[in-house]
């Protein structure tokens, strides 16, 4: 057995004696975990639990289909328009220029 892992403190057996991490915290283990997360990526659209898909190269898709990507874009656009149209709660009902937070 070698020295303890720098991350978790567990004793580890290093192949070359120069490692600083146990098997759980090696760079290879982190890469494998990241790859598994890409394979298991779920569609980012609310209420969709479909697998977003990944072809093994690059980033995983964010949405399961182009239709869901377009729907998410339209929902974001509608939410932004609604936020612009919403009345400001910090203004008084007067002429709209007085700020309630500055009242003396």
DSSP assignment of 4-64 equals: BPTTT--B---SSS---S-GGGSHHHHHHHHHHHHHT-B--STT---B----SSSSPPSSS
At 70 the pLDDT is: 96
What is the average pLDDT value for the chain, to the nearest integer? 78
At 29 the pLDDT is: 80
Q: What is the average pLDDT across 41-66? A: 89
Residue 84 has pLDDT above 90, yes or no: no
Q: What confidence tens digit (pLDDT) does each residue in 5-45 have?
A: 766 777 666 555 566 666 676 777 888 888 888 899 999 99
Residue 62 has pLDDT above 60, yes or no: yes
pTM: 0.54
Residue 65 has pLDDT above 90, yes or no: yes
Domain definitions of the chain by residue range: 1-39, 43-91
CB-CB contact of 67 with 57 (8 Å):
no
CA dist., res. 1 & res. 37, Å (int): 31
């Amino acid at each position: 057995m070698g020295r303890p892992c720098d991350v978790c403190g567990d004793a580890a057996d290093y192949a070359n004696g120069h490692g600083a991490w146990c098997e759980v915290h090696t760079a290879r283990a982190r890469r494998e975990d990241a790859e598994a997360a890409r394979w298991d990526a779920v569609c980012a659209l609310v209420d969709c639990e479909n697998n977003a898909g990944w072809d093994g190269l690059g980033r995983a898709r964010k949405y399961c289909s182009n239709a869901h990507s377009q729907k998410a874009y339209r929902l974001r656009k509608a939410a932004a328009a609604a936020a612009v149209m919403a009345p400001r709660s910090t203004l008084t009902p007067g002429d709209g220029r007085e700020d309630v937070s500055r009242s003396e």
